[in-house]
Amino acid sequence: MQTFSWPVRVYYEDTDAGGIVFYANYLKFFERARTEWLRAIGVNQNQMAQEFNSVFVVKSTAVEYHASARLDDELIVTVLVEKTGRASIAFSQEVRCAERLLTSAKVTICTVERTEWRSMPIPAPVLRLINPALFAASTD
């Protein structure tokens, strides 16, 4: 799998009184990058909810903070799929500023049925877009 990158600019609202990005905002940056990655591979989350009654939710996060981002910094947030399961996707994500690693994370999302919030498998058409190699191997 290839690493997906998404640019993020640090705005005043992202920072604390010292002009440093508030630690919880990195989770927002990771979320935005994963959402843009889904769009880039052709997964429309609204359509997924309507057609399959399925939504992605965050199951777990483990974040390490290495250095601080500051107001007006131009960041690059990366997304790398580490593993796909029946109902989950594990990611490795990073935030960098000018090649300097600021934050790294392991994030796992899973699919749930959107009205009862019960775990359910990732819909096959969505999984096909996320991990086409799984399907290519089965059709050879």
Count structural domains, the chain.
Answer: 1
pLDDT average, residue stretch 7-29: 96
The residues annotated with a catalytic role in the active site are 16
pLDDT tens, residue by residue, 22-36: 999 999 999 999 999
Instruction: Name the residue range of residue 90's domain.
Output: 4-139
The C-alpha angle 47, 50, 51, rounded to 5 degrees, equals 80
On the question of pLDDT at 134 being above 70, the answer is no
Q: What is the CATH number of the domain that holds 106?
A: 3.10.129.10
Instruction: Give pTM, 2 decimals.
Output: 0.91
